[in-house]
Structure 1
Amino acid sequence: MFMVKRTFTICNDSLAIKKPGALAGGLLLLMVFGHAKGSEPPASHPESTKTTWDIEALKRRGIISEQVENLDKLNEIPPGENLVDINLNGAFKTSFQVNVNDQGIICFTPALFDALGISVSDSNPKEGCYDWISEQPGTSVAWQSESQTLSIVVPPDVLQQESNGDYGGIAGHINYNYYSSMNKSAYQKQRYSWLSLSSGINISNWMIRSQQNVQDNQGEISTTINSTYVERYLSSLNKIFQAGEISTRNTLFPLGQLRGFQLYPDDALDSNSATGVSVDGMASTSQARVEVRQYNQLIYSTLVAAGPFHLPNIPVQNRNAELDVTVLETSGETQQFIVPAIQLMNTSQPENRGFSLSFGKLQDQPSDDAKIPAILTLNKNWQPLNRMSLRTGSLLSGKYQSVAAAMNGQIASVPGQSFSLQVLLAQDHYQHKKSAQVRVFSNHALTKNLSLSLGASKNTPGYASIEEASLRARRKDKWSYSADNSELNLGFSWNSETLGTLSFTHSLTTSYPDNDRWRYSMLTWNRRFENGLQLTTSASRAKSRDRSNKSLNINLSWPLGEKRIRHYYRSSNQRNIMGSDINLPLGTSNNLQLAVEENSKDRNRSLQSSLSSDLRYTNVNTSVQLDNQHQRNYSINGNGSLVIHNKGVTFSNSSVQDTYGILSLNRPLAGVPVISPSGTSWTDWRGMALISSLSPWHDNAIDVDVDKLPKNVDVSNGHRTLRPARGSVKQVQINMLSGTRLLMTISLANGQLLPKSSTLWIGKRLVAEAVDEGLAFINNADSKGTFHVKIAQSTDECDIQYQLKDATDEDALYEQLSLTCQ
């Protein structure tokens, strides 16, 4: 409840009151005599009714009825439209534009009931101003003018039952990622550019998604459009529905994209959406592009710096097929390696219990659609034991059937150990063969600092997935194909406080019928010293029958204030490079890197410069490289997103996900940081910020960074907690209190200062009281206005007019004005 703080003392004579102002000094007496007519029963909602005072008792103590009226005015919400924060039963609920009539009654509308989550019967009147508070027993309302907050208390039985998440919202978005480079020499010029777009529309939790890729290689432009589908969470089935070009989810079978539909559990109801699949490798040149493919489709692409790289949470289609990784160097060279499917089992997470279903035809099959087989998959997840999960599945097609089972978990009697086991049986009528596949993976924490992982996969001769088997049959050249025979994977990691961290991975793949072998090994060692010195070394080798890649990388770096200096050596494909670089932070949003290096093979020396800029609403990186052989390389890349909604277009430097939100301030204030689970975003020139990702079915804390607000700006409540349903677009309204604070020195027409406890009014609304002789302070003032003044201890009244300058100092806590009351 709003309170006015004043100081006063009570003398031995209870009738003698020493008060700095009659209004302020009467507070204690009001507390004593406020219930002088105690014989009357209290109102059921006293905050919405006018308090009755014992006027005669107050007059005997020097308090007149007008001052009592002023106290009542302090707790009245002003008439008209008011954007306020609403607390419901003691907790913040929403910000809403409420309508108050001239009698001070809050008009309840269907939109307000929906915003508060209050259930009302159809018999309630909706015409005119509906005073629901006066009709509903057990309710009350209180107005807090300083924080512009309306506190409403209602019985719990009128509240709607809370769902797992809030539904609704309409918006469209585009995530973009682009890269363009030009290589110039004395003899030629080469250009290469690509643009990747991921676009979508959310309409009442229905989602439409599509991916577009455009590539320009020396004027040859190619365009692809794929992964176009519609999606929605079906609460009646507790499943996600997808239809279109879909990647089969929650399946044990190696399936690429299908043209069809599927139903599967929403993993966000139990866990986060991170895949846990990572790719580690090495790049030889700066701005190298890494492409990750699965089922011959590009699923991830990014730029990396020279040296070892770690790419977390690769968006795999499923964990049943290997990843083909290509590193495209800026020099034109290419490196390739495989992440075996057995290694993906290491990141397997417990799936939601329940069933999954998919039906459709294989995508990207080079044949007539009529010859592509239709596929039906059914999968079921179980949890027979506390730390054990079981998955079963079946795949049905005209000439191919398969069943599979997988188990993963931990053994309670063997702490620190986990395992995964999967068995698949296939009946292949294309090749008239029965085949099987067995995959196993285990993790072992041998000691506190030493861990070991082992994995193996074995296929019987003739095993082929339905995609491979049907393709061979249609092409009628099945003997020209090879198939995986076995996969082995070994990895260990050792951590020592003295020697640092050492890790090693090795994988071996053999194939039918030629027994060709592919090997990949990687060894890394990291050591950090007390003075900030850091040593990182890594070596990798990839070898098959017809090609071999070796690479070695050594980095030595140390801090120098905010800068960091690094010396490095890189060896790859008979190229030996030595160099040094320095990272120079330029403020909080830019980073400049300068590097010099030499290729010992041809004595080619180069100078490189790159600038990375976080421009709040997009990310831009530029790079320039020059060498002593008159070769130049220029490149630019960037990424970000934009959302089109009912209030316009909003930009962000982060990618928009399935569920997101838009925050709006009630005044155009740019550059205000908004902290959310997806990171920090900033309001634009209209006071709007894009919250690019929200976790569905979970609480998401959204906070306006009030420490970064201008000093002349306040916020009534800068915190929100959102719990959206999947596919929602949440609109968040933050009520910024008008930043204008007025400290007024007021004189009367005769030159005397305005007496203490005089009151300032706008219409029937009390806005301020003179806290001292001639001094009054007002929050949230308009740029110009008129106050009607009731002079204390007098029947005289006068008016004050003011107008602020157009340019105000945002760092000033208040505006000082000297005014005369006429």
Structure 2
Amino acid sequence: MIRSSHQRKPVRLALSAITLAVLAQLAHAQGQAGSVFNEQFLDIGGGQSRADLSLFAFGNRVMPGNYLVDVSLNESSIGQSQVDFVDKGDEKNAQPCLTRAMLDGWGVKVEVFPALMAAGDQCVDLAQAIPGSSVSYDGEKLRLFVSIPQAAMKRQARGAISPDKWDKGINVGMLDYQFSAARYDGGNNNTNSNVNSSITEFNANPSTTTQARNTLYAGLRGGFNLGDWRFRNFSTYNRGVDGEGRWQSVTSYLQRDIASLGGQLVIGDSTTPGNFFDAFPFRGVQLSSDDGMLPDSQQGYAPTIRGVAQGNARVTVRQNGYVVYSSYVAPGPFVLDDLYPTSPSGDLEVTITEADGRETKFKQAFSAVPTLLREGVWRYSATGGQYRNGYSTINSGSSSAKPNFVQGSLARGLGREYSVYGGLIASDIYQSVLFGVGKNLRAFGAISADLSQAHTKGPNRQDVNGQSLRFLYAKAFENYGTSVRMAGYRYSTGGFRTFQEAAQMQDLQTGQELNNRRNQLRLELAQQLGSNGGTAYASAQQQSYWGTDQKDRLIQVGYSNFYKQLSYSVFYNYSTNLNGPSNRQLMLTLSIPLGDSRSYARYTVAKGNNGELTQQASVYGSALDDGRLTYNVTAAHSNQQDNSGSASASYLSQIGRFDFGRAQGSGYGQTTLGIAGGLVVHGGGVTLAQPLGETMALVQAPDAANVGFEVYPGVRTDSRGNAVLANLSPYRLNRLAVRTEDLGDNVEVKNAALDVVPTRGAVVLAKFETSIGLRLMLNLSDRNGKPLPFGARVENQQGQEMGIVGGEGQTFISGAKEADAFTVKWGQAAAEQCRIKYRVPLEKNPAPIRELNAQCE
């Protein structure tokens, strides 16, 4: 029999909660002490009887079953595991069932313990099998603590994760995209810059045409995963103000892990490793080691690009002739630290295109850090195929020659912190060998040096020979707050050619000369000036060529600090280009927050080339609850360009990032639009997402819509409960956590956090178990109207516990249906249980927790 209760009873609800809490705490306390808890303490009067509470005689029991638990081995988290808990028949907690396979996966030397080898798939008594070991379980935190003597563990580097825990992911298709477009109007736009060529010329004379012009950039990273294989294609489309567009396929390849060799197999269009020889694009096959598979190894390095934009400007980055990055930035200094290079080395060509068409260009050297390996570690690569080039014109340093080649390299970590490495390149037009050594100098950093010998066959049998000597150095002087991230010097004789230069030589006409590199110097410094003295940084690079006195040079120096709420910085930039004019900029920036908001005011004054002085005043910041909307409004004045203004905004949604900008000056205007995002096609349909990156997780939380995740701003589940979490670290533990405050009144999640270990390029499936239903407070009574016994268990039709009866017969149920039946048990006899049914009445504005009365049938 069911009756709807219209009177709320907050006092009774609170009393029930407090009573159950006291029950759990006191039972837990007595269980630890080994004493017997006096059940008479729970008599709260009112004629309510008590259930058989022997279940709690030894504390808050762990019931038999299979649980997903966090495993802590020797006080270090090693991820999550499904563990069976079995009843030992001693009326205490169910105990975890540890098997030989489980211990072997955790790194235990199972082969040296006879008890483990004889156990097979059965549960083992860890304390007896391995003397000195122990296991305990915290049911409240779902954490399993395992302690095993170090002598019983396999020797492995800290942070290592066994390959049998790597998750290759599911079969999916994917597309990561970026689109940006600009419309130029007015008569003072520079229309002669060709964004399609690899190196564009500075044009200081604006066009007088009044026709509106458009530019468009599209970057598409698509592919699919099938088992261990990943297919990827990265293509770009570039259309300049001249209306001419060009598609480029930057990379297109099949890839898979070779875990037994600690490396990757790549088939198709990709790029050679750049840690020893200069990297270059190829079409063929490559097998190379993957440092990401090694624990505590040095990971991939991408440079930080700094620059200054006078207005809403487009920044384009090219590498090996291919556009690898393009984005619009707000006025003022900018930093690009999210570069995703296609090659581990190769100079980056940076072009800053202002709203009025002016261009600033510089080259930034990009190469590997010193080669230093741990003792016993190998690094290798073997590549065979055809040389590929992405440049569009010979004058820009391209080559129509596509010679076949083989390239190999090998490095080994030796004792006393030495490393040796070498390599070779062989082609019908080029042969080169390299040998080098690296040394950890400990307090003085790390250094490596190598020598290359090359023989090049030029046109008309103009063979040349030469050598190249290179030094690399890196060090962080922590006691002095100094970091030398990269210092390098390279000298090449007049007859030395790289493989790319050898290919370019094949197109030289009679009388033409190749300006090959002579020497190169690079330096990156960062200095912390005391606890409140600010931070200074500097980077410098210079590259000279044989046959010309001109040099490529880039010098950047900066200092930043704050005084109370005022932050300030000084930045100096100087660059020269072998094929263009020099550029100088000196900038002072002041910034202060506006009240308690997330908005800031900024003033900038910059001195540029030819005496140009520019002043800017900006208001910028973020809005909405998680800061997913950012904006910038700027007014500027120049003694050469008059007044100008710009505004930009960026919104980060669950399906992508949307950008908008508008700049207006004397005689010109620019409107920019951009969108970046991704989509994943899987067995459950299509899920839209923010930009994907390389490795990701597909989250499934059935029926839990619009739920966010920790450290992933803007990401939320769609109507089906699916979402994509991007940029996971391959071969590492990645913790994915649901924002439980986003769960609705009718959604419960059983596992609010998951650990995943994806392989490179994988899309791992992360399932969060959700329970969808109503939240009910049931007032349970017997046929005579008396409350059911305190402590009675409420089970559903599958035998799963749904709640425990508290004071006055109240019990809280979550995930309930609109109509259902439960069984209530307060003892083992048939007379000590009954069945109840309920149906939730329809209400126009229901409360988050419905309260109902129910009687035993």
TM-score for both structures, normalised by structure 2: 0.73
Describe the SS at the equivalent of 2:292.
Answer: helix
- Look up the match of 2:739: 705
Give, in whole Å, the separation in 1 of the partners of 2:399 and 2:362: 33
Alignment of 1:726-741 (within 5 A): 726-738=760-772, 740-741=774-775
* Cα deviation 1:257-283 (Å, max 9, x = unaligned): 111111110110125775333143323
- Structure 1 unaligned regions, length at least 5: 33-70, 78-82, 98-112, 119-132, 154-160
How far does residue 653 in structure 1 lie from its aligned partner after superposition? Answer: 1.8
Aligned equivalent of 2:815, options 777, 780, 786 = 780
- Look up the match of 1:239: 263
Given the superposition, is the C-alpha separation of residues 255 and 624 from structure 1 closer, same or farther in structure 2, using an over 3 Å criterion? closer
Describe the SS at the equivalent of 1:471.
Answer: helix
Q: Tell me if 1:374 matches 2:397.
A: no
Contact 2:178/2:218, CA 8 A, preserved across alignment: yes
- Look up the match of 2:556: 522
Given the superposition, is the C-alpha separation of residues 753 and 697 from structure 1 closer, same or farther in structure 2, using an over 3 Å criterion? closer
How far does residue 194 in structure 1 lie from its aligned partner after superposition? Answer: 1.3
Aligned equivalent of 1:663, options 679, 699, 702 = 699
How far does residue 559 in structure 1 lie from its aligned partner after superposition? Answer: 1.6
- Look up the match of 1:55: none
Aligned equivalent of 1:468, options 501, 507, 512 = 501
Give, in whole Å, the separation in 2 of the partners of 1:683 and 1:15: 49
* Cα deviation 1:710-729 (Å, max 9, x = unaligned): 45543222222222333433
- Look up the match of 2:455: 427
Structure 2 letter corresponding to 1:618: G
Aligned equivalent of 1:27, options 25, 36, 54 = 54
* Cα deviation 1:729-762 (Å, max 9, x = unaligned): 3212111234532112356777666676777665
Give, in whole Å, the separation in 2 of the partners of 1:519 and 1:795: 88
Range with bigger deviation, 796-805 or 420-429? 796-805
Describe the SS at the equivalent of 2:543.
Answer: strand
Give, in whole Å, the separation in 1 of the partners of 2:623 and 2:709: 22
- Look up the match of 1:222: 246
Alignment of 1:360-759 (within 5 A): 360-364=385-389, 372-412=402-442, 415-430=443-458, 431-443=462-474, 448-449=480-481, 455-477=488-510, 479-490=512-523, 492-497=525-530, 499-542=533-576, 544=578, 547-560=581-594, 561-562=596-597, 563-574=599-610, 575-587=612-624, 588=626, 589-606=628-645, 608-627=646-665, 629=666, 631-657=668-694, 659-665=695-701, 667-675=702-710, 681-710=715-744, 713-738=747-772, 740-746=774-780
Give, in whole Å, the separation in 1 of the partners of 2:340 and 2:273: 12
Give, in whole Å, the separation in 2 of the partners of 1:672 and 1:697: 27
How far does residue 370 in structure 1 lie from its aligned partner after superposition? Answer: 12
Given the superposition, is the C-alpha separation of residues 708 and 387 from structure 1 closer, same or farther in structure 2, using an over 3 Å criterion? farther
Contact 1:17/1:25, CA 8 A, preserved across alignment: no
Q: Tell me if 1:264 matches 2:298.
A: no
Equivalenced residues, count:
726
Range with bigger deviation, 700-709 or 311-320? 311-320
- Structure 2 unaligned regions, length at least 5: 1-20, 31-36, 85-99, 106-118, 126-136, 147-161, 188-209
Given the superposition, is the C-alpha separation of residues 437 and 741 from structure 1 closer, same or farther in structure 2, using an over 3 Å criterion? same
Alignment of 1:59-98 (within 5 A): 85=68
Given the superposition, is the C-alpha separation of residues 361 and 759 from structure 1 closer, same or farther in structure 2, using an over 3 Å criterion? closer
How far does residue 393 in structure 1 lie from its aligned partner after superposition? Answer: 0.4
Alignment of 1:349-360 (within 5 A): 353-360=378-385
Describe the SS at the equivalent of 1:779.
Answer: strand
How far does residue 646 in structure 1 lie from its aligned partner after superposition? Answer: 0.9
Structure 1 letter corresponding to 2:170: G
* Cα deviation 1:749-792 (Å, max 9, x = unaligned): 77666676777665574755543334333233112223467899
Give, in whole Å, the separation in 2 of the partners of 1:784 and 1:723: 41
Q: Tell me if 1:302 matches 2:341.
A: no
Structure 1 letter corresponding to 2:811: A
* Cα deviation 1:248-305 (Å, max 9, x = unaligned): 0255223421111111101101257753331433233344222222322223333333
Alignment of 1:267-278 (within 5 A): 267-270=291-294, 271=296, 274-278=299-303
Given the superposition, is the C-alpha separation of residues 538 and 745 from structure 1 closer, same or farther in structure 2, using an over 3 Å criterion? same
Structure 1 letter corresponding to 2:473: S
Describe the SS at the equivalent of 1:268.
Answer: helix
* Cα deviation 1:164-200 (Å, max 9, x = unaligned): 5233421111111111121223733121121111112
Given the superposition, is the C-alpha separation of residues 805 and 393 from structure 1 closer, same or farther in structure 2, using an over 3 Å criterion? farther
Contact 1:570/1:577, CA 8 A, preserved across alignment: yes
* Cα deviation 1:61-119 (Å, max 9, x = unaligned): xxxxxxxxxx99x9688xxxxx985899999856899xxxxxxxxxxxxxxx999999x
* Cα deviation 1:347-396 (Å, max 9, x = unaligned): 76759623210001111389999963211111001122443322200111
Describe the SS at the equivalent of 1:469.
Answer: helix
Contact 1:208/1:228, CA 8 A, preserved across alignment: yes
Contact 2:706/2:716, CA 8 A, preserved across alignment: yes
Given the superposition, is the C-alpha separation of residues 569 and 210 from structure 1 closer, same or farther in structure 2, using an over 3 Å criterion? same
Given the superposition, is the C-alpha separation of residues 417 and 763 from structure 1 closer, same or farther in structure 2, using an over 3 Å criterion? closer
Given the superposition, is the C-alpha separation of residues 378 and 163 from structure 1 closer, same or farther in structure 2, using an over 3 Å criterion? same
Give, in whole Å, the separation in 2 of the partners of 1:386 and 1:289: 49
Give, in whole Å, the separation in 2 of the partners of 1:513 and 1:382: 38
Structure 1 letter corresponding to 2:456: D
Greater Rg by CA? 1
How far does residue 633 in structure 1 lie from its aligned partner after superposition? Answer: 2.4
Give, in whole Å, the separation in 2 of the partners of 1:18 and 1:531: 59
- Look up the match of 1:163: 164
Structure 2 letter corresponding to 1:224: Q
TM-score for both structures, normalised by structure 1: 0.76
Describe the SS at the equivalent of 1:780.
Answer: strand
Structure 1 letter corresponding to 2:749: V
* Cα deviation 1:22-41 (Å, max 9, x = unaligned): 65355289889xxxxxxxxx
Describe the SS at the equivalent of 2:489.
Answer: strand
Give, in whole Å, the separation in 2 of the partners of 1:736 and 1:546: 61
Describe the SS at the equivalent of 2:261.
Answer: coil
How far does residue 564 in structure 1 lie from its aligned partner after superposition? Answer: 1.1
Contact 2:313/2:353, CA 8 A, preserved across alignment: yes
Given the superposition, is the C-alpha separation of residues 660 and 209 from structure 1 closer, same or farther in structure 2, using an over 3 Å criterion? same
Given the superposition, is the C-alpha separation of residues 245 and 816 from structure 1 closer, same or farther in structure 2, using an over 3 Å criterion? same
How far does residue 228 in structure 1 lie from its aligned partner after superposition? Answer: 0.5
Contact 2:69/2:81, CA 8 A, preserved across alignment: yes
**Percent of paired sites with the same residue:** 19
Give, in whole Å, the separation in 1 of the partners of 2:737 and 2:456: 57
Contact 1:642/1:650, CA 8 A, preserved across alignment: yes
Give, in whole Å, the separation in 2 of the partners of 1:697 and 1:489: 32
Given the superposition, is the C-alpha separation of residues 477 and 114 from structure 1 closer, same or farther in structure 2, using an over 3 Å criterion? farther
Contact 2:72/2:143, CA 8 A, preserved across alignment: no
- Look up the match of 2:211: 188
Contact 2:310/2:331, CA 8 A, preserved across alignment: yes
- Bigger relative CO (Cα 8 Å, ≥ 6 apart): 2
How far does residue 651 in structure 1 lie from its aligned partner after superposition? Answer: 2.4
Contact 1:458/1:487, CA 8 A, preserved across alignment: yes
Q: Alignment RMSD, CA only?
A: 4.7
Give, in whole Å, the separation in 1 of the partners of 2:438 and 2:56: 73
Give, in whole Å, the separation in 1 of the partners of 2:419 and 2:764: 35
Give, in whole Å, the separation in 2 of the partners of 1:96 and 1:649: 33
Give, in whole Å, the separation in 2 of the partners of 1:796 and 1:272: 61
